[in-house]
Structures are given as structure tokens and as C-alpha cells.
Amino acid sequence: MDLNTVKEYLKIDFDDDNDVLEMLLGAARRYVTDAVGGDTLDESDERVKIVLLALVSDWYEHREYMGKASEKVRYTVRSIILQLQCEVTENET
């Protein structure tokens, strides 16, 4: 996933926040990678894309609480991460 995809999702047509969005995307990747327990994320998986976009969107729109998912996205993020964790566990056995 790249910056343009994030900006399109957030409907941002200016470049002033590019550095912030890149930082948020990097943090979201790390958050999901650590939560799933694998070494890398398969960003071609639509669920991974949704989780990354949901986290970046939530953190961008609620910057004062950055690093903590709001109640609105928490359920979605948890449920998809659980699915991804189960797949990592199955692939390791």
C-alpha cells in the first residue's frame, strides 16, 4: 500500500500532511505485524488493506489519541487481526 492509496481513501487532495500519513502508515504496518505475529504482512490480502486503512484513518482523524484505536474501529481491527493470527499459526504447523 502506498501514500496515494491512503490519500484516496481519506479523500485528501493536498500534500501538506504527506509526512504524517507516511508515519501513520508505517505505524499501522508495525502495529498489525506485531499483533499478527508474523515477520511480514501480505498487503495483497484485502483484510490487511482494510485494517491498515482503518487504523491510518482513525489515527489521522483523531490525532490527539494517536496510537490507540477508537471504539469505532476497534472491533473491526481486532476481528481481522484474530483471523490473520489464526492463519499465521496454521501456516507454522
**What tens digit of pLDDT does each residue of 27-50 get?**
999 999 999 887 788 999 999 999
Q: Could you give the C-alpha distances from 27 to 13, 24, 31, 40, 46, in angstroms and in order?
A: 22, 5, 6, 14, 18
Provide the whole-model pTM.
0.78
Helices 71-92 & 46-61 angle (0-180, nearest 10): 150
* Count: domains in the chain: 1
Q: Can you give the pLDDT at residue 66?
A: 53
Give pLDDT, residue 63. 74
Residue 63 is placed in which grid cell?
Answer: 490525532
- Distance (Å) of CA 8 to CA 27, 44, 84, 87, 91: 19, 17, 25, 29, 33
Instruction: Select from 37, 45, 46 the least CA-distant residue to 82.
Output: 37
What is the domain range of residue 80?
A: 3-92
Cβ atoms 61, 12 nearer than 8 A? no
